[in-house]
Amino acid sequence: MPERRIAVFTGSRAEYGLMRHLIRAIEAEPALTLQLIVSGSHLSACHGNTVAEIEADGVAIAARVPLSLETTPLPSMAALTAEAMAGVGGALQQLQPALLILLGDRYEAFAAAAAAHLQGIPVAHLHGGETTEGAVDDRLRHAITQLSHWHFTAAEPYRQRVIAMGQPPDRVYNVGPMVLDGLLATPPACRQTFEQSTGFRFGEFNLLVTYHPETLLHDRGVAGFEALLNALERVPCHVLFTHPNADAGSASLLERLQAFVARHSHRCWAVPSLGQERYLAALQLFDAMAGNSSSGVIEAPLAGIPALNIGGRQTGRLHVGSVHNAMADTDSIEQLLIKAFAESKKRQTKDQRRITHSPSTEVTRVIRSLAEQ
């Protein structure tokens, strides 16, 4: 790896939040030159224009690859993937990095990995080896693994799975979930500051909801979301919704979300995106979270709050801590919400700063050593 230009691809708010500290570490490393490629919902007004969060961090953007996410109806995921592959391919041809780093399993990341592979640019993949049986992302993640040269997994079972898929063991590193960096750096949260920045108002019980399309289902997970909304009609609590991501079916979920918030404006609020800092602050301040996001089975347990995981989107992913699984059934969701709030009253606040392991430090060390070879 004679060159030291390191490209990092980000196509969504969650992905950037998980890589934020790694991006800063690469930027601060004298032996490396960061080239950040931004695409997907970051550049979409209807998804919150989250590129503003990157700009606010002061990170230089080397290339922007906009997708047709403002079009109605939304293009197919295949069309968006093709658009992303062409755009990222052009950016890589111009930037000529020695290595491309990307995270996860979304179609934008798959497009970026394919573009790099076809141009002979090695790929370093974060969070490979995981399983989410309820989403098309599951096979995309494994496809990215096969397109990648180096792998940084979130747990030892995931490392073993990547090796079982044929990857050389000396190129597969178990560094832990990238969210550990954020939890390690997050200061104690303040309710008043959170309310001022979001418009949310805390009540006796407070629930954070992040629900995305379940892309392998015919209804894209609408039944599960409606069951959650029906349960919330019965359970007195204040609710903050974040918008669904830019997958097929997101428009239908967002329409229902906005209608529910309009009917319950005295106790429900919605924001397109919290960004990682406010999201981690919410995990300190809220009593529980619900939805079908990976943050419910990774971030929430690590932060010490109970989570309700609805449907099959996260089936197969390791669960650690207080995670309650429910299908699209209003009664069971209602009972599990009540149980989660009861648990939250009993738990003691966890000092997140006891976490001392930084995945970004390990990833940067490996990348630096590759650059020196």
d(CA 23, CA 89): 21
For residues 255-281, give the mean pLDDT: 94
For residues 8-35, give the mean pLDDT: 93
Closest CA to 136 of 213, 46, 242: 213
d(CA 182, CA 21): 7
Calculate the alpha carbon distances from 225 to 222, 266, 278 in Å. 5, 21, 23
Q: What percent of the chain has pLDDT over 90?
A: 67
For residues 107-112, give the mean pLDDT: 96
At residue 72 the predicted structure's pLDDT band, cuts being 50, 70 and 90, is confident
> What local confidence, expressed as pLDDT, does residue 24 receive?
94
> What local confidence, expressed as pLDDT, does residue 356 receive?
57
Q: What is the pTM of this model?
A: 0.76
Sequential DSSP letters for 82-120:
HHHHHHHHHHHHHH--SEEEEES--HHHHHHHHHHHHTT
> What local confidence, expressed as pLDDT, does residue 355 receive?
53
Same fold, 5-176+357-372 and 191-353: yes
CA-based R_g, the chain, Å: 20
> What local confidence, expressed as pLDDT, does residue 208 receive?
97
For the cut 90, the answer to whether the pLDDT of residue 14 exceeds it is no
Q: What is the mean pLDDT of the chain?
A: 90
Q: Where are the domains of the chain?
A: 5-176+357-372, 191-353
For the cut 60, the answer to whether the pLDDT of residue 2 exceeds it is no
Closest CA to 212 of 204, 203, 223, 221: 221
Task: Give the tens place of pLDDT for each residue, 206-229.
Answer: 999 999 998 777 888 899 999 999
> What local confidence, expressed as pLDDT, does residue 231 receive?
97
Task: Give the tens place of pLDDT for each residue, 275-297.
Answer: 888 999 999 999 999 999 988 88
Sequential DSSP letters for 19-85:
HHHHHHHHHH-TT-EEEEEEEGGGG-GGGT-THHHHHHTTPPEEEEE--STTSSSPPPHHHHHHHHH
- For residue 282, the tally of other CB atoms under 10 A from its CB is 25
Which listed CATH number (3.50.50.60, 3.20.20.150, 3.40.50.2000, 3.90.1150.10) goes with 5-176+357-372? 3.40.50.2000
For the cut 50, the answer to whether the pLDDT of residue 322 exceeds it is yes
CATH topology of domain 191-353: Rossmann fold (3.40.50)
> What local confidence, expressed as pLDDT, does residue 45 receive?
85
> What local confidence, expressed as pLDDT, does residue 354 receive?
46
Task: Give the tens place of pLDDT for each residue, 338-352.
Answer: 999 998 877 654 444
> What local confidence, expressed as pLDDT, does residue 184 receive?
85
At residue 246 the predicted structure's pLDDT band, cuts being 50, 70 and 90, is confident
> What local confidence, expressed as pLDDT, does residue 100 receive?
98
Task: Give the tens place of pLDDT for each residue, 187-212.
Answer: 889 999 999 999 999 999 999 999 99
For residues 323-328, give the mean pLDDT: 91
